Structure 1
Amino acid sequence: MLEELKEAYHFVFEDELIEEISKYGTLKTVKEGEKIIEIGDYVKNMPLLLEGAIKIMREDKDGDELLLYFLERGDTCAMTLSCCLGMTKSEIRAVAERDTKLIMIPIEKMEEWTSRYKSWRNFVFESYHTRLTEMLDTIDTIAFLNMDERLMRYLQDKAKINQSPNLQITHQQIAYDLHTSRVVISRLLKKLEIDKKIELQRNSIKVIDL
C-alpha cells in the first residue's frame, strides 16, 4: 500500500505523512457499481483514491438521483470531509464508477494531520474548492444548458473518467444520472449520432467528439 500511496500522492504529501497514511489508513477495494457511502450514513472515514473512479450523487425527496461530480485517483470528497468533521449524516451517495481501490482515513487522524501537516491542510482546502467549483458547474449545466448539451458533456466526462471512448451503459442508467426519462435520453442519443458526435452500438456508446 505504501508504494501505491507514494505513486498517487507523492506530489501532494511529504514522505512522513504518506507513511502515517499507510500506517493508520485502511485499504479498501470496491467493485464497479458498489456503494461506498449511502445517504443517511454517519461517515467515520474519509476516502483517498488510489485507482479507479467514484461518482457522487444527490437524491431528491422523490428518490430520484442527480449526478454531482466524479472523483479520480488523487482525489477525495469534500462533502465526506464535512460529514466527518461535523459528525453529521451523509447527504450524498458515493458509487464506484469502475473497480476502485481507496484508503479510508479515520476522523481522528484527519483532525490531527490538519494541525501537524501544511500539505494536508492545503489538500483539504483545495479539495473543498475543487468540489465546490464542480458543483457550481453542475448547477450551471442544469440551469443554462439544453438537455442535449448536458447529455454530451456527461458522455465526455464519463469517457474521460473511464479512460475509454467506449461506454458500457444503458439509456436508463444515463436517465437516472441526469434526472430525466429514458425516452428523452434515447431520442437525444439518436440526434447526437446523426450529428456524428457519438456512435450507438449494441449495449454501448462510443464517444467520437471528445
Structure 2
Amino acid sequence: MKTNLLTDIYKHHLDQTLIDEINKIGVLKNFEKDEIIIDINQTLKFIPLLLSGNIKILREDQDGNELLIYFLEAGETCTMSLTCCIGTAKSKIRAVAESDSTLIMIPVSYMQKWFQNNESWRNFIFESYQNRFDEMLEAIDNLAFMKMDERLYKYLVNKTVLHESKNIIIKHQDIAEDLHTSRVVVSRLLKQLENEKKIVLSRNKIEIL
C-alpha cells in the first residue's frame, strides 16, 4: 500500500529512484481527525509527507490562542517543519489532522542528503516553499484587508474544496479558534451569511450554496 500511495501521489514531483528509497526508509503513520501531528516546541526527527487526508497548520500566541495559517493536502509537506529540520530548531507551528490522514515520516538525516544529490527532491522543496509562502502572504492579506465576514466565507469555501463536499460538519467554536475570534462573532456572521442566501445552517453542519 505504501509503495502504491507514494507512486500515485508523488510521481509528478519525485523520480522513481527516490520514491523507492522513501518506501524503504519511511515510516507510515495514521492520524485520526483532530489528532496533533506536530506540536509547538517539539523537536522534529522526521519530515512528514502527506499521502491522504488534510492537515491544518496553526500558530499560537502567548495566551494560547490559535490562528490558522494554511491547509496541507495529499502530495504536500509542511515547509515550516523543513525549516526547523535544517536549523535543528524546535517547531514553531502545530499541525493537526483536519481529517483522518496518512503520512510517511522520513528521518531528518535524509533531507540534506537528497537536497544535494537529487534534483527532483530539490525542486519539490523549492516548490513547496513557494506555495507555502504564497499561502502565508494570502493569510496576511486576509487579516489586514478582509472583513471578518469575508474571511469566514472564504474559510468555509476552502473547507468545501478540501473535503470535496458542500456540507461541512463543524462546530462554531472550532471555526472561532481557527479564525482567532469569538464563538459569538462566528455565530452572528454565520447567521448573516445564511440571511444572504450563501449558506444553510443546521446543528454542527453548514451547507454552502
* Counterpart position of 1:19: 20
* Counterpart position of 1:179: 180
Query: 1:6 & 1:73 partners in 2: Cα distance?
Result: 12
Cα shift readout 1:164-185 (whole Å, capped 9, x = no counterpart):
1111111111000000011100
Cα shift readout 1:139-191 (whole Å, capped 9, x = no counterpart):
00000000000000000111111111111111111000000011100000001
Query: 2:23 & 2:208 partners in 1: Cα distance?
Result: 38
**Secondary structure of the corresponding residue to residue 54 of structure 1:** strand
- 1:9-88 aligned at under 5 Å gives the runs 9-88=10-89
What amino acid maps onto 2:176 in structure 1?
A: A
Deviation of 1:28 after TM superposition, in Å, equals 0.5
What amino acid maps onto 1:150 in structure 2?
A: R
Query: 1:91 & 1:115 partners in 2: Cα distance?
Result: 26
Deviation of 1:202 after TM superposition, in Å, equals 1.9
Number of equivalent positions = 208
**Secondary structure of the corresponding residue to residue 92 of structure 2:** coil
Cα shift readout 1:55-97 (whole Å, capped 9, x = no counterpart):
0000011110000000000000110000111110100000000
TM-score normalised by the chain length of structure 2? 0.98
What amino acid maps onto 1:22 in structure 2?
A: N
* Counterpart position of 2:147: 146
* Counterpart position of 1:207: 208
- What residue ranges of structure 1 are gaps of 5+ in the alignment? none
* Counterpart position of 2:113: 112
Deviation of 1:207 after TM superposition, in Å, equals 1.3
Deviation of 1:45 after TM superposition, in Å, equals 0.8
Query: 1:95 & 1:26 partners in 2: Cα distance?
Result: 18
Runs of 4+ in 1 over 3 A off after TM superposition: none
Query: 2:166 & 2:48 partners in 1: Cα distance?
Result: 27
What amino acid maps onto 1:141 in structure 2?
A: N
1:123 aligns with 2:124: yes
Whether the 8 Å CA contact 2:172–2:204 is kept in 1: the answer is: no
Cα shift readout 1:12-68 (whole Å, capped 9, x = no counterpart):
111101000101111000000000000010111111011000000000111100000
TM-score normalised by the chain length of structure 1? 0.98
What amino acid maps onto 2:92 in structure 1?
A: E
- What residue ranges of structure 2 are gaps of 5+ in the alignment? none
Deviation of 1:201 after TM superposition, in Å, equals 1.4
* Counterpart position of 1:100: 101
Query: 2:26 & 2:76 partners in 1: Cα distance?
Result: 15
Query: 2:204 & 2:66 partners in 1: Cα distance?
Result: 22
Deviation of 1:116 after TM superposition, in Å, equals 1.3
